Structure 1
């Protein structure tokens, strides 16, 4: 086995980050670029992705992750990749009986099917070189449930199960697959939820954590950098909560 890179370094490794233009994705991009990775930011918002790419020395690619054909094309154009971060996500805060089949299709396409599509596109090249790091951003909602987020929770639960299966299938290739389950993180998605539900929603989120505060995107990015690094080479099939102790009780 080759000597591991120094702690916190990804020298020259190619990383693909979906939904990387803002929020947790942008923090991961900055973290990986700072660790000397060569990062491709894939996002539907090409302007925001390009601005970030110019800031950190990355590449930007416009991508609708719900389009599996487009995913294959972008990965083929910019790959192969050593590190895949499936971060793109979308939520809709509504009770299940107030949602429609069209809502389910969108939520499952972005939060679950995109993970399948990006992984399917990136895996063969990883298998060929017998190395890879797959990091899937799920949610504590997958493990605890979420009032007003039933379909989102179901999709993110699927991500955890998929991660474990990919870890089992690909260990023989030297590929690890892990998930990160953030709790309430200060992101545009959370801000939308707070704008809709008000201070009551914000208090409920912070009260559900042991630390009594929101997390920052950079705290999730630190976990992603660790799982992408050589220091995490013996970790696979795991789900790491970055949630301030959410769900453990007071």
Structure 2
């Protein structure tokens, strides 16, 4: 296992894409820090479950990614971080002139500013250790726009810009900084939206997936959380030692159009 003994901190990782990344990284022998803004028994039980399943060390640290000081505290509490995966994110949909200011502020804070704070805190540790990986989970919306998603699209475009700057600043430090741009990923959140969309459009499940949710994906298939996790594992590995300042699309061909 090429990443055995490395420590990976994954923001927003008690469900969905973040949890899928945690599972794949644990398979590679990584020790894991799980994170979310909650602090329930279920969160800590999840850490214990992953630790037992993959025979690695897993801890859970509560930190609200909308607050810069808590983002930095997460990295400080994690300790000797080797791999930082900025995954936390939220969404809200509305026209620009009706977009609530509080939703704009929350999305920019969680989807963009949190990655700035965690990266700023992690880079000195990585430099001291002589090795590091920063992997930002962006989106196809970091490369393309859709109406009614102004804050999300702005934040994800910003993530790609920040990825490039950080890569240039760490180019001689044995640290790489990259982004992954998923299309639609089949998570419990997306799965839960399918029945309501079926009712709204009067379509079958198959029609909703093909004609509504995956309308922009030429493959007409979801990416899986395991596939995103596998892409993260590649970027963390020495195979990707000369891959820095770039983004990898995992979107079924969406952004090729």
Q: With structure 2 as the length reference, what TM-score do the two structures score?
A: 0.88
Match of residue 27 from structure 1: 20
Q: What per-residue deviation string (whole Å, max 9, x for no partner) do you get for residues 189-227 of structure 1? A: 434665665575743331211211222111111100100
Question: Whole-Å Cα distance in 2 between the matches of residues 98 and 162 of structure 1?
Answer: 28
> Following TM superposition, by how much is the alpha carbon of 1:148 offset from its aligned partner in structure 2, in angstroms?
2.1
1:39 aligns with 2:47: no
> Following TM superposition, by how much is the alpha carbon of 1:67 offset from its aligned partner in structure 2, in angstroms?
1.2
Match of residue 69 from structure 1: 69
Q: Name the SS of the counterpart of 1:225 in structure 2.
A: helix
Match of residue 54 from structure 2: none
> Following TM superposition, by how much is the alpha carbon of 1:133 offset from its aligned partner in structure 2, in angstroms?
0.3
Question: Whole-Å Cα distance in 2 between the matches of residues 112 and 106 of structure 1?
Answer: 10
> Following TM superposition, by how much is the alpha carbon of 1:53 offset from its aligned partner in structure 2, in angstroms?
0.9
Paired residue total: 242
Match of residue 227 from structure 2: 219
> Following TM superposition, by how much is the alpha carbon of 1:152 offset from its aligned partner in structure 2, in angstroms?
0.2
| 1:128-147 superposed matches below 5 A | 128-147=128-147
Q: With structure 1 as the length reference, what TM-score do the two structures score?
A: 0.91
Mark the runs of 5 or more structure 2 residues left unpaired by the alignment.
52-57, 202-207
Q: What per-residue deviation string (whole Å, max 9, x for no partner) do you get for residues 143-174 of structure 1? A: 11122212101000000000000000001111
Residue pair 1:160, 1:239 contacting (<8 A) in 2 also = yes
Question: Whole-Å Cα distance in 1 between the matches of residues 196 and 101 of structure 2?
Answer: 22
Moved over 6 A (4+): none
Q: Name the SS of the counterpart of 1:185 in structure 2.
A: coil
Residue pair 1:91, 1:107 contacting (<8 A) in 2 also = yes
Mark the runs of 5 or more structure 1 residues left unpaired by the alignment.
1-5
Match of residue 124 from structure 1: 124
1:49 aligns with 2:49: no
